[in-house]
């Protein structure tokens, strides 16, 4: 498997290198869909220039290609580990007769799972969103790399490294905090500790992991304080993320909402929108406590959709996971609609931006409409995969061909 | 006649008493008991002058200066001054309440075209400009500044209350005090400009009220608003600063200079004829000097006479002055002498052009414009011209850019003669969103006979819809850049302090012979920002919340419901039958 992966990495690096050298690099790094005030390279360079006026800024394209490679490699290895895990659990479940008799078609075979890690890496590296993000030199690539490494360390079972990487990811943008729950659930599952709030073994491990995570976070924050000499970075980074003062248009839902809001309600709606990112964690964790890796995917998707300054690089990260759930294809209901919506929106974003900002013949509503549609498509995609996953689980335990009381073929509904 | 002009009818709360009548000093509008003690050797002094300079394009430039020297026990802590003679009480109270050391405020309509008109005596940027030096004893400068702007807004009937922290800067080098005192701590300096401010009669009237003679006598009778605002350029300013009263600086005084610069256009006000007179310009003639003034003079720049134009009535008085690096000759009309007014008891100067001439090119000139297209990014270009044939000199460029145009300082380039020209001093204070504007000050050495271009890129922000003005598609103004320099002079400047120096040459203190101080203001910029649709707040809230609700709804469904086999529900008839059967106790239908 090393050879196809190496080939893939070479192709990916070539595409990025070509784009870096072309004139498109300038254009792409100015696109609002790809860079946001939080991760624009231009702002990093500006910050460096302010620190020392007159120093020529570091161009750094190699740095961004490397982070993409790290992400892809980490995802590849994680999915490989995960697949082994899945196959092993399936074997145990079959041996203990937990599956019903007629769901043979739903079982996964090593043959089917062989190419999945490569597909995952390919989905990430060759995704136009990732390429655009890399060529724009957005620091989103770095964020993705850290989250991918975190997933890799979690799946390999190293709690300390996973805690440190998660702290690093949280330090960059506060939203990966929600990934604490799936990581915890994974470790508990791995160590065969039942998730029961009354048992001391559960609390013992939870506190250990929490301590590692919070401790690393404190260390990193303290290091920043010593390096910068003041606590100013806390309000300027986290305050910036939470209070959304910069209304530069992006692919998210926040910018126009806060641009058009009455001052009176600003605090209320800021709180509502931020809580919206965090409050799905507990219910999802309860529902998916047996399936922490799918929970990680769901959490990353929710963060990418509802965070305050999303970019296409964030979208690319959770889209990379989709080949891992390719066995759910038969249960997906809206996949055609969703792919059409996402493709159309991706094409329309630059067009309507140009019409608004440069041609002057459209106004902000056009771009806003596409933003709404794009996020709606993403929500539909994630909800669809969630539905398909739950349905497959239901069929595994209750049988694939279900019959109604009178013997005719039944339809399954959510009630 | 003790009251030829009708001072009795003046508003007693504001008017000062007359210098000649000690008894009338008691009618001073102040409510103090000091009225019983005679004013102790009051040496308040008032001078007025008008300079008329014909310009080569056929336009005419008139510059009024009214100077009041207020001899008072200099502003010390705790000393309340309540005796006002010629100095306006409103401004005196402002000075003492806010511990102001220097105050410069100007209202300008129009832009000064340096290349066509030369250098003005008192430069000013379009709109309103206010810069103030506070005393070192002030503890809360920002609080004083805020109150001061509101009080001045009331005094001058201008909307200076729009000056707040988002358009105030503290320049570190460009605005040194013009009066006494060597202040180096720029924490006590505040500078703000409102390029959008419009000047009209409502601003001229309170300005005229500050003059000792009002607009009833002296040169101020010429200040009629319907003619003054029918001009290409109109600027009225108030400058207050502490000065020395004599060469050894044994006593100090407050100097209040009210200046009014106006340029009348050849075609709109002059009807195309290159012939100007006081009556044509101001629709009034001069009949007498202000009785409170110690000197009241009219200077006409005749350096280009007699080849260029002829001046009547002739006057024997001539004066030479070195101003703005050039030796100019002036015909002087002394209004305190009766013979100036001639037989008709009125003075109406007449200037008739005879030919065209070459104008002396101003040595320093600056322009500014916005480059780029679209509403996302742009570039500010400032071009500074050094027209001196062989001398290079440094200039200090100050730029204050509002926070919603995010400057990228790493894209700052300064090129002279297509080569990089690194500034020797850069002071940059980045903006804080909604708190502070950008401040960029640079010391650039201009090579001789060259054009220097300073470019910096910026990005336009999308504002909250309440932060837009009612006409957002008009654009947002960026205040003028200020270019300050000591320009090498062709002629030796006069560094001596003389009591009877004409006012126009003594505005800026001359420290050395070989150069003179020049301040050039560039054009203000008008920048368009992307606007949201202002009719949409409710719609946006509904639509965004709908998408969020779709997400919430899908997840809620999947989290709280389980899969079940769908048993079809019975048709209505069968259900009713089942109801009856249940009552009867008979088995139900399926």
Of A50, A258, A372, the CB nearest to B409: A50
Q: Which of B441, B555, B562, B568 has the most A C-beta neighbours within 10 Å, making it the best mutation to test the interface with A?
A: B555
How near does any CA of chain B get to the CA of A363, in Å? 7
Interface of A with B in 303-362 (CB under 8 A): 305-306, 356-358, 360
Q: Which of A259, A297, A387, A413 has the most B C-beta neighbours within 10 Å, making it the best mutation to test the interface with B?
A: A259
d(CA B514, CA B510): 10
Q: Which of B559, B560, B570, B589 has the most A C-beta neighbours within 10 Å, making it the best mutation to test the interface with A?
A: B559
Three-state secondary-structure class, residue B254: strand
Least CA distance to B375: which residue of chain A? A357
**8 Å CB contact of B547 and A263:** no
> Is residue A414 less than 8 Å (CB to CB) from chain B?
yes
> Is residue A240 less than 8 Å (CB to CB) from chain B?
no
d(CA B70, CA B45): 7
Q: What is the DSSP string of A145-213?
A: HHHHHHHHHHHHT-HHHHHHHHHHHHHHSSGGGGGHHHHHHHHHHHTT----TT-HHHHHHHHHHHHHH
pLDDT, one tens digit per residue, over B385-441 is 999 999 999 999 999 999 999 999 989 999 999 899 899 999 999 888 889 999 999
Residue B275: CB partners within 8 Å, gap ≥ 6?
Answer: B350, B351, B352, B353
Interface of B with A in 531-570 (CB under 8 A): 531-533, 536-537, 540-541, 543-544, 547-548, 550-552, 554-555, 557-559, 561-568
- What pLDDT sits at residue A288? 92
Other C-beta atoms closer than 10 Å to the C-beta of B507 total: 17
**Would you report the helix, strand and coil content of chain A in percent, each value rounded to 5?**
75, 0, 25
d(CA B193, CA B132): 12
Q: What is the DSSP string of B540-565?
A: HHHHHHHHHHHHHHHHHHHHH--EEE
> Is residue A22 less than 8 Å (CB to CB) from chain B?
no
> Is residue A271 less than 8 Å (CB to CB) from chain B?
no
**A54 contact residues in B (CB cutoff 8 A):** 422
> Is residue A258 less than 8 Å (CB to CB) from chain B?
yes
**B409 contact residues in A (CB cutoff 8 A):** 46, 49-50, 53
Task: Tell me, letter by letter, the H, E, C secondary structure of B13-54.
Answer: CCCCCCCCCCHHHHHCCCCCHHHHCCCCCCCCEEEEEEEEEE
pLDDT, one tens digit per residue, over B93-103 is 898 899 899 99
**8 Å CB contact of B555 and A383:** yes
What H or E segment, with its residue span, contains residue B443? strand B438-446
Decide: B227 and B221 in contact? Cβ < 8 Å: no
B307 or B471, which is more confident? B471
**A256 contact residues in B (CB cutoff 8 A):** 532, 540, 544
Dig out the tokens for B302 from the structure.
């005749």
How near does any CA of chain A get to the CA of B546, in Å? 9
Decide: A290 and A11 in contact? Cβ < 8 Å: no
d(CA A185, CA B59): 84
Least CA distance to B430: which residue of chain A? A50
Interface predicted TM-score (ipTM) of this complex, two decimals: 0.89
d(CA B243, CA B51): 23
- Provide block-wise average pLDDT over 10 residues at a time, chain A (415 residues): 82 86 81 79 71 46 76 90 89 84 82 89 91 87 93 92 94 92 92 86 91 92 85 79 85 91 90 93 92 94 93 92 92 94 95 93 93 96 95 87 76 80
**8 Å CB contact of A246 and B461:** yes
Q: What is the DSSP string of B105-161?
A: EEEEES---HHHH---SS---SEEEEEEEEPTT-S-HHHHHHHHHHHHHHHTTS-GG
Three-state secondary-structure class, residue A31: coil
**8 Å CB contact of B544 and A248:** no
> Is residue A223 less than 8 Å (CB to CB) from chain B?
no
- What pLDDT sits at residue A51? 63
Of A247, A262, A383, the CB nearest to B462: A247
**8 Å CB contact of B540 and A257:** yes
**8 Å CB contact of B558 and A258:** no
**A50 contact residues in B (CB cutoff 8 A):** 409, 428, 430
- What pLDDT sits at residue A197? 84
pLDDT band for position B2 (cuts 50, 70, 90): very low
d(CA B173, CA B183): 11
**A273 contact residues in B (CB cutoff 8 A):** 548
% residues pLDDT > 90 (chain B): 49
**8 Å CB contact of B541 and A261:** yes
Q: What is the DSSP string of B202-215?
A: HHHHHHHHTSTTTT
**A306 contact residues in B (CB cutoff 8 A):** 548, 551
Please state the rounded mean pLDDT for residues B348-352.
Answer: 87
Of A247, A287, A372, the CB nearest to B543: A372
> Is residue A63 less than 8 Å (CB to CB) from chain B?
no
Locus of tokens 């506070």: B134
- What pLDDT sits at residue B506? 83
**B558 contact residues in A (CB cutoff 8 A):** 287, 383, 386-387, 390, 414
Q: A276: closest CA among A244, A248, A249?
A: A244
Interface of A with B in 143-202 (CB under 8 A): none
> Is residue B433 less than 8 Å (CB to CB) from chain A?
yes
How near does any CA of chain A get to the CA of B518, in Å? 29
In terms of C-beta density within 10 A (0-12 exposed, 13-18 middle, 19 or more buried), how is residue A159 classed?
Answer: buried
**8 Å CB contact of B373 and A390:** no
Interface of B with A in 369-388 (CB under 8 A): 373-377
Residue B127: CB partners within 8 Å, gap ≥ 6?
Answer: B107, B108, B193, B194, B195, B196, B197, B477, B479, B524
pLDDT, one tens digit per residue, over B18-76 is 433 433 444 444 444 444 444 445 578 899 999 999 888 888 999 999 999 887 765 55
| pTM to 2 decimal places | 0.84
How near does any CA of chain B get to the CA of A27, in Å? 12
**B561 contact residues in A (CB cutoff 8 A):** 414-415
Dig out the tokens for A253 from the structure.
């839902």
| A219-229 b/e (C-beta count within 10 Å ≥ 16 → b) | ebbeebeeeee
pLDDT at B590 over 90: no
Of A273, A383, A391, the CB nearest to B554: A383
**B422 contact residues in A (CB cutoff 8 A):** 54
> Is residue A387 less than 8 Å (CB to CB) from chain B?
yes
Please state the rounded mean pLDDT for residues B69-84.
Answer: 67
Judged by average pLDDT, the poorest of A104-113, B92-101, B184-193, B361-370 is: A104-113
pLDDT at B574 over 90: no
> Is residue B154 less than 8 Å (CB to CB) from chain A?
no
Share the mean pLDDT of chain B.
85
d(CA B343, CA B338): 10
């Amino acid at each position: 498997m090393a050879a196809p992966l190496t080939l893939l990495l070479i192709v990916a690096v070539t595409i990025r290198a070509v784009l870096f050298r072309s004139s498109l690099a300038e254009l792409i790094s100015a696109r609002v869909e790809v860079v946001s005030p939080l991760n624009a390279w231009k702002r990093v360079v500006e910050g460096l220039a302010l620190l020392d006026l007159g120093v020529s800024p570091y161009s750094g394209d190699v740095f961004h290609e490397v982070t993409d490679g790290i992400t892809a490699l980490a995802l590849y290895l994680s999915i490989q580990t995960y697949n082994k895990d899945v196959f092993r659990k399936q074997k145990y479940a079959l041996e203990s007769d937990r599956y019903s008799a007629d769901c043979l078609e739903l079982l996964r075979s090593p043959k089917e799972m062989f190419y999945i890690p490569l597909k995952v890496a390919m989905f990430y590296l060759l995704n136009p969103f990732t390429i655009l993000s890399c060529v724009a030199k957005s620091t989103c690539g770095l964020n993705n790399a850290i989250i991918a490494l975190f997933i890799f360390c979690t799946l390999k079972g190293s709690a300390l490294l996973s805690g440190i990487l998660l702290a690093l990811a949280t330090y960059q943008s506060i939203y990966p905090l929600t990934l604490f729950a799936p990581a915890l659930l994974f470790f508990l599952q791995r160590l065969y500790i039942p998730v029961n709030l009354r048992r001391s073994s559960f609390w013992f491990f939870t506190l250990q992991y929490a301590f590692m995570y919070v401790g690393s976070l404190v260390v990193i924050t303290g290091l920043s304080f010593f390096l910068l000499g003041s606590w100013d970075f806390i309000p300027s980074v986290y305050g910036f993320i939470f209070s959304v003062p910069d209304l530069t248009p992006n692919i998210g839902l926040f910018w126009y909402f806060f641009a058009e809001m009455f001052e009176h309600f600003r605090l209320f709606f800021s709180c509502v929108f931020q809580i919206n990112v965090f409050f799905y964690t507990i219910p999802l964790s309860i529902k998916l406590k047996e399936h922490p890796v799918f929970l990680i995917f769901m959490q990353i998707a929710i963060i990418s959709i509802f965070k305050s300054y999303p970019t296409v690089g964030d979208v690319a990260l959770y889209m990379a996971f989709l080949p891992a759930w390719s066995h759910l294809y038969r249960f997906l209901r809206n996949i055609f609609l969703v792919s059409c919506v996402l493709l159309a929106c991706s094409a329309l974003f630059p067009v309507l931006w140009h019409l608004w900002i440069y041609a002057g013949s459209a106004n902000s509503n056009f771009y806003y409409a596409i933003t709404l549609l794009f996020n709606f498509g993403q929500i539909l995609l994630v909800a669809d995969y969630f539905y398909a996953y739950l349905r497959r689980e239901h069929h595994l335990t209750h049988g694939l061909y279900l019959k109604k009381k009178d013997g005719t073929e039944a339809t399954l509904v959510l009630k | 006649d003790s009251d030829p002009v009708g001072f009795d009818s003046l508003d007693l709360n504001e008017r000062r008493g007359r210098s000649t009548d000690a008894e009338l000093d008691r009618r001073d509008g102040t409510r103090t008991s000091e009225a019983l003690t005679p004013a102790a050797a009051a040496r308040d002094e008032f001078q007025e002058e008008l300079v008329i300079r014909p310009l080569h394009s056929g336009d005419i430039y008139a510059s009024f200066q009214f100077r009041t020297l207020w001899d008072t026990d200099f502003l010390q802590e705790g000393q309340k001054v309540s005796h006002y003679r010629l100095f306006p009480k409103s401004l005196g109270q402002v000075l003492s309440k806010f511990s102001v050391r220097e105050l410069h405020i100007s209202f300008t309509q129009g832009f000064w075209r340096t290349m066509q008109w030369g250098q003005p005596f008192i430069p000013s940027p379009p709109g309103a400009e206010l810069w103030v030096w506070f005393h070192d004893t002030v503890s809360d400068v920002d609080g004083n500044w805020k109150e001061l702007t509101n009080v001045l807004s009331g005094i001058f009937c201008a909307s200076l209350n729009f000056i707040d922290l988002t358009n105030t800067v503290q320049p570190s080098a460009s605005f040194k005090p013009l009066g006494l005192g060597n202040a180096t701590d720029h924490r006590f300096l505040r500078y703000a400009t409102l390029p959008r401010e419009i000047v009209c009669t409502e601003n001229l009237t309170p300005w005229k009220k500050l003059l000792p003679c009002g607009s009833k006598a002296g040169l101020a009778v010429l200040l009629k608003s319907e003619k003054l605002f029918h001009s290409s350029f109109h600027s009225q300013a108030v400058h207050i600063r502490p000065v020395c009263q004599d060469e050894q600086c044994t006593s100090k005084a407050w100097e209040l200079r009210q200046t009014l610069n106006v340029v009348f256009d050849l075609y709109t006000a002059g009807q195309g004829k290159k012939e100007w007179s006081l009556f044509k310009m101001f629709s009034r003639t001069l009949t007498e000097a202000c009785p409170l003034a110690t000197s009241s003079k009219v200077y006409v720049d005749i350096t280009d006479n007699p080849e260029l134009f002829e001046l009547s009535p002739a006057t024997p008085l001539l004066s030479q002055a070195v101003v703005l690096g050039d030796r100019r000759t002036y015909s002087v009309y002394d209004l305190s002498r009766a013979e100036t007014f001639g037989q008709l008891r009125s003075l109406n100067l007449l200037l008739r052009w005879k030919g065209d001439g070459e104008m002396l090119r101003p040595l320093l000139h600056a322009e500014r414009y916005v480059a780029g297209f679209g509403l996302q990014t742009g570039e500010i270009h400032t071009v500074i011209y050094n027209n001196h044939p062989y001398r290079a000199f440094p200039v200090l460029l100050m730029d204050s850019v509002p926070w919603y145009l995010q400057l990228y300082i790493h894209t700052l380039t300064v090129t002279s003669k297509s080569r990089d020209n690194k500034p020797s001093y850069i002071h940059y204070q980045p903006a804080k969103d909604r708190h502070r504007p950008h401040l960029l000050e640079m010391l650039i050495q201009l090579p001789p006979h060259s054009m220097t271009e300073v470019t910096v890129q910026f990005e336009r922000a999308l504002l909250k819809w309440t932060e837009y003005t009612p006409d957002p598609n008009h654009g947002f103004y960026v205040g003028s850049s200020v270019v300050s320099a000591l320009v090498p002079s062709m002629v030796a400047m006069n560094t001596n302090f003389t009591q009877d120096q004409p006012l126009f040459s003594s505005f800026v203190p001359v420290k050395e012979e070989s150069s003179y101080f020049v301040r050039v203001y560039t054009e203000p910029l008008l920048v368009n920002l992307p606007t949201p649709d202002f009719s949409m707040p409710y719609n946006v809230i509904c639509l965004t919340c709908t998408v969020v609700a779709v997400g919430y709804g899908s997840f809620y469904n999947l989290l709280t419901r389980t899969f079940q086999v769908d048993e079809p529900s019975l048709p209505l008839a069968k259900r009713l039958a089942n109801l009856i059967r249940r009552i009867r106790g008979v088995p139900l239908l399926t």
